[in-house]
């Protein structure tokens, strides 16, 4: 994974984003933080769109988004072509999001996950390859034009 992993959050996800950023750096991975940079109230779609645009244009291969539940950022990010943001709440959903869905954005809930579990989810998500095969056909069907990016 040569490209930087882009990360973003709203205020509710700020503390967890900071923890995950440190964890990614500890793993030796390049990280680009697209904000927010404090716990001051902000609008989650702004940061979800910033991360999704980085994936959409090819500047980054993967992204991590955090809001209170992970739901809002995943909804906003998935509005972008070629972005497959997956909300994961345990290691199994993280693994399946990569193996079967080729998720390129991981969405997490800053108010619903403890930091230890979130780090484990992130590790599984990073380390799980896409299985391809029958799943590649299904992933291609996610895009309205049937083509993955």
CATH number of 107's domain: 3.40.1400.10
Residue of 23, 100, 115, 135 marked active site = 100
57 among known catalytic residues? no
User: Does a structural domain hold residue 61?
Assistant: yes
Q: How many domains is the chain built from?
A: 1
What is the structure's pLDDT at 39? 97
146 lies in some domain:
no
* Residue 23 located in a structural domain: yes
23 carries an active-site annotation: no
Distances (CA, A) of 138 to 11, 63, 96, 131: 35, 21, 14, 12
Q: What are the structure tokens assigned to 138, written together?
A: 């299904």
Q: Give me the pLDDT at residue 1, please.
A: 44
Residue 149 lies in a domain: no
In a domain, residue 147? The reply is no
d(CA 147, CA 149): 7
- Residue 34 covered by a domain: yes
Write the pLDDT tens digit of every residue in 6-51.
999 999 999 999 999 999 999 999 999 999 999 999 999 999 999 9
Asked, for residue 68, whether it belongs to a domain, the answer is yes
Residue of 11, 23, 67, 80 with catalytic role: 67
- Do the domain assignments include residue 145? no
Range of the domain at 127: 5-140
């Amino acid at each position: 994974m040569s490209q930087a992993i882009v990360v973003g959050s709203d205020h509710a996800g700020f503390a967890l984003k900071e923890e995950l950023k440190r964890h990614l750096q500890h793993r030796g991975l390049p990280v680009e933080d697209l904000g927010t940079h404090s716990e001051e109230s902000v609008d989650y779609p702004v940061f979800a769109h910033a991360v999704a645009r980085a994936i959409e244009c090819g500047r980054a291969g993967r992204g991590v988004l955090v809001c209170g539940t992970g739901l809002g950022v995943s909804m906003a990010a998935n509005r972008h072509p070629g972005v497959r943001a997956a909300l994961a709440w345990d290691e199994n959903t993280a693994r399946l999001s990569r193996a079967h869905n080729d998720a390129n954005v991981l969405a997490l809930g800053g108010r619903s996950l403890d930091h230890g579990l979130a780090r484990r989810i992130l590790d599984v998500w990073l380390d799980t390859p896409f299985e391809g095969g029958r799943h590649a056909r299904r992933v291609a069907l996610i895009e309205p034009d049937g083509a993955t990016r």
